[in-house]
Structure 1
């Protein structure tokens, strides 16, 4: 409108506010009602009237006319700003033009541009009115919700809003309107705190598996029966699967026969072949998810039932037979599909049998292997470790993981098996995912808790690679994780490769292995975070369930920010305010004085 003949004083709209033109050119200068002057492009404004607008006060005076009557006359038609102003107010002036345009911007009766204003039909107006009433009702309900939330209350009709906050707390939404309107910082922790305050979440609600979007349903798929194939009969051997009490997935067992250590491993690769449905499902999960409230298995219940060692009287296995020299070097490796008769023991049950001839002999030979690893620079850290478990009543139990001979025997046997598998695959050019770890930048001598705490900080992260390399932390020239194919996908890949080689079938290529490593490495950070933060969450719930908990701690570091202590009963690290006179490795007694569940923080104080 008048774009090519705009004069000084013309009335325009800029960002829905009135302004008048004070200079024209390539860019116009306009003055706002506040007195502010802006330089704008002509396309940034809407011209309402050629002017001149002498004073903005003119626009504030009520215009005498009948705009609704004009709407009734023109219903369903198209008109212009000038014509509508004339009809409604009897004159087209800056004042009447602005009055009409305010109604156009409101959109109740009119919409469009100054050159083409559409006059809404009666039906359209009624729809607009209904929409406005609905908007006002929704706003009233929203404000009532905010009021109740500020009172730390909610009613049934508020659940729809609380679900949105819950989604934000679980990382499923990027913004939270509720937190914005409540003037709270938009963080998952603040959303978590709000849901606790109003009682929508209980303290026992664990948001971290949802926040990291890890699978929480057990996979379900059909598996055929075991194929007919030759298996070495090792049922005459005394074979033991030794695990923590309550373990549901016995995927390894050990035995000894005429100088040969046997490590029997569950054999799911007998049925789960590369790129089958079960394989793709396992690959999409990466590993089993271990939470204090339970385990979400990587494989189906059917697979665990079929292949878990000791689940049946005779179990199918992939058995690794290893002969060692007294210097701990591997002299011979045999890998065969087998049938084994496995007895299941807990570590505590096995501990009382450690001086019996069988376990004593196994421990002796495994000791040679451990000594060889230590000579090659293996790092052994004995830091506090616990098992956090939650029962069906949401009661938390924390049990220490005891440093038992039986546990060390099994751990060493699994390291030996991993080394033997790596050597066997290297000798036969079988591509597998190797586990490597670079040497630490610095070594800390000593075996105190403070020494081991300091040493852990220098350890490099282990990595998967398609080519063999040193695992410095274990003191091994090469190493493959292959003893948990029921729980770790890349262990399953190792077994698939060994099985394919033994059957004379085509192997996955090194590129195939790299692709599988890449897929799993994308998944592992979320799995680890879900597990670690879930354990922290339930440890804090335990402290809430046991108010004023107190116990012994040990000083492991002295920093400007305070004294770092480890609490063995909780496997918890915390920093106490600086306290003069404390030294490393000094035992102290501490008491929990505060728990912040959303921030995963617990605060302790020193007791006399």
Structure 2
């Protein structure tokens, strides 16, 4: 509220907002002059009179020396006016002393109020306020010093606690970062990642994607129950082979041959994981094992693998699928048993060297009609480059995944078990999640890399449904995933439903199955995304460590002079510019131009 209801006199000193002003003229509105010479027309109520004048120039408001502290000590706890305070502190009430007095009052420490009613604040209030201001100033100095250290990439040990804020933003646990904004960075997780690496909070190869994707990064710690005593079919007279990549730690499937009958044995995980148990809920919440280049995070406690992994004990409990296949590729005589099996763990390469020998030659003969039938029924095989990415003490290692007949043999055996399980459940009305896929019309076939790349982009993902529909990509009329219950929740759920049918204990309803699958699919989608982004991350770390890398890329897509190039030895897709316009499937020699690990981006040029 204005000090005066009437207009202030010309050449008086007034307060306009927080600035001093000189009244130039008075009319319906008041014309004032501000420091710097700017003039404004304002209403009388917009100003407070500090001194009636005359004030000829605002430049005359020079600093004054007085006894304001002594004046406060005399007036402590009482109320005064601006004029009385100026006269007490400066022995004079002039425009200059009025302004000097008001500047102190506006600080709000020892005095506070309006020009006509100024309170000399009590000592205890002043002391408390002064301490608070000093603490705030110290905090601000500390904050500015911290920002300076961040800008210079020279943090102190005590800064790590502060940087947790940036880390939370970098991994998606916070929506903003005050520190990142103060440093002038755009608020993106990539910039937060880059800032944390720059100051040494994260190592240069830190992988943020598992946490950013919201997946568990440690194994479950729940207790695993003992295997129940129950009747099992003894199949230990058949040597079963768990065929996998070197170093695999969770062998959950194996195959054996009994005359013309193929057996696919799968770890009997449902024997230990009750559908209503905490273990089941934990597995459902995780959805699948998380396979990272730096290691595996299990869906189930490691003790489950130790007890149930095929070949990890002398004799292993299994759910065994027995079947025959006729010359037309039709699966016949399906049997499913809880069993005991004796398993030998071997590698794909070991089997590859023995495919012409029993029992692998017999397995191949049993499986080949099924494979041929799938191909006749439209199975789509995309032979795009694949690699394994591993991180160890010697750094990042990227190795191509070879196309082996032994790998194809195992794949088809597992598909046969999936078909057998589907038919078993269909015939008995057991609700399970079937894996289905619909392909777009007119896909055709692809024989070269560019065509396979274009074909893959048109694929629709496999979905899970309780109705047994066709999986077009696999060339199968009905199919369910059943051979990885240690590492994939949907397989475990199928096992639980089959086990319930075998024991007559009753299983879940169709609605319950779909509710559980819907929850698990959300989690497994996050797992797949974390795996994909983590693999990309480590590929770019590899390129940063090998900036002299030279390699070959294959043109798989053309867009004006921007080429999409696939680098087979890295299974990495990139975009490059070219003055010339090469053709699809042309091979280009590439070199690195830049690597930006936080942005998952590496630049290449044509050599």
**Is the CA contact 1:242–1:344 (under 8 Å) kept in the aligned structure 2?**
yes
**Is the CA contact 1:444–1:451 (under 8 Å) kept in the aligned structure 2?**
no
* Structure 1 residue 295, shift from structure 2 partner: 0.3
Residue deviations 1:488-514, cap 9 Å, x none? 112111111111222212321222122
Structure-2 separation of matches of 1:260 and 1:514? 33
Paired residue secondary structure (1:543): helix
After TM superposition, list the pairs within 5 Å mapping 1:384-395 onto structure 2.
Answer: 384-391=385-392, 393=393, 395=395
* Structure 1 residue 412, shift from structure 2 partner: 1.1
Give the aligned partner of residue 164 of structure 1: 165
**Is the CA contact 1:466–1:510 (under 8 Å) kept in the aligned structure 2?**
yes
Paired residue secondary structure (2:590): strand
Give the aligned partner of residue 432 of structure 1: 432
Report how many aligned residue pairs link the two structures: 591
Paired residue secondary structure (2:532): helix
Query: Bigger CA drift: 317-326 or 130-139?
Result: 130-139
**Is the CA contact 2:83–2:98 (under 8 Å) kept in the aligned structure 1?**
no
Give the aligned partner of residue 370 of structure 1: 371
Give the aligned partner of residue 458 of structure 2: 458
Give the aligned partner of residue 584 of structure 2: 584
Give the aligned partner of residue 88 of structure 1: 85
RMSD, aligned CA:
3.7
Label 1:72 to 1:452 Cα distance change in 2 as closer, same or farther (>3 A): same
Matched, 1:291 2:292: yes
Residue deviations 1:208-253, cap 9 Å, x none? 1222232111111112211111111111112111111111000111
Label 1:111 to 1:508 Cα distance change in 2 as closer, same or farther (>3 A): farther
* Structure 1 residue 52, shift from structure 2 partner: 10
Residue deviations 1:331-350, cap 9 Å, x none? 23221111110110111111
* Structure 1 residue 134, shift from structure 2 partner: 2.6
Give the aligned partner of residue 537 of structure 2: 537
**Is the CA contact 1:70–1:87 (under 8 Å) kept in the aligned structure 2?**
no
Query: Bigger CA drift: 163-172 or 421-430?
Result: 163-172
**Is the CA contact 1:266–1:486 (under 8 Å) kept in the aligned structure 2?**
yes
Give the aligned partner of residue 208 of structure 1: 209
Label 1:37 to 1:550 Cα distance change in 2 as closer, same or farther (>3 A): farther
Structure-1 separation of matches of 2:565 and 2:203? 30
**Is the CA contact 2:469–2:478 (under 8 Å) kept in the aligned structure 1?**
yes
Paired residue secondary structure (1:237): strand
Give the aligned partner of residue 520 of structure 1: 520
Label 1:208 to 1:93 Cα distance change in 2 as closer, same or farther (>3 A): farther
Label 1:479 to 1:63 Cα distance change in 2 as closer, same or farther (>3 A): same
Give the aligned partner of residue 244 of structure 2: 243
* Structure 1 residue 112, shift from structure 2 partner: 8.6
**Is the CA contact 2:81–2:117 (under 8 Å) kept in the aligned structure 1?**
no
Give the aligned partner of residue 596 of structure 1: 596
Gaps of 5+ in 1: 21-27, 40-44
After TM superposition, list the pairs within 5 Å mapping 1:202-281 onto structure 2.
Answer: 202-281=203-282
Residue deviations 1:149-184, cap 9 Å, x none? 333333323333433333322223322233322222
* Structure 1 residue 317, shift from structure 2 partner: 0.7
Paired residue secondary structure (1:203): coil
Matched, 1:313 2:314: yes
Matched, 1:324 2:325: yes
Paired residue secondary structure (1:245): coil
TM-score of the pair, normalised by structure 2: 0.86
Paired residue secondary structure (1:306): helix
Give the aligned partner of residue 490 of structure 2: 490
Query: Bigger CA drift: 28-37 or 298-307?
Result: 28-37
Label 1:75 to 1:374 Cα distance change in 2 as closer, same or farther (>3 A): farther
Residue deviations 1:481-539, cap 9 Å, x none? 12111111121111111112222123212221222122123223322222111111111
Residue deviations 1:31-69, cap 9 Å, x none? 996767899xxxxx9997899999998899589887656
**Is the CA contact 1:324–1:331 (under 8 Å) kept in the aligned structure 2?**
yes
Matched, 1:382 2:383: yes
Give the aligned partner of residue 182 of structure 2: 181
Structure-1 separation of matches of 2:569 and 2:367? 30
Label 1:56 to 1:251 Cα distance change in 2 as closer, same or farther (>3 A): farther
Residue deviations 1:92-134, cap 9 Å, x none? 9999999888767644346799999987543343233233223
Structure-1 separation of matches of 2:153 and 2:197? 9
Give the aligned partner of residue 42 of structure 1: none
Structure-2 separation of matches of 1:480 and 1:30? 85
Give the aligned partner of residue 155 of structure 1: 156
Structure-2 separation of matches of 1:177 and 1:87? 46
Structure-2 separation of matches of 1:30 and 1:230? 103
* Structure 1 residue 18, shift from structure 2 partner: 9.0
Label 1:114 to 1:439 Cα distance change in 2 as closer, same or farther (>3 A): farther
Structure-2 separation of matches of 1:30 and 1:532? 69
Gaps of 5+ in 2: 23-28
**Is the CA contact 1:59–1:94 (under 8 Å) kept in the aligned structure 2?**
no
* Structure 1 residue 603, shift from structure 2 partner: 1.6
Structure-2 separation of matches of 1:523 and 1:173? 20
Give the aligned partner of residue 357 of structure 1: 358
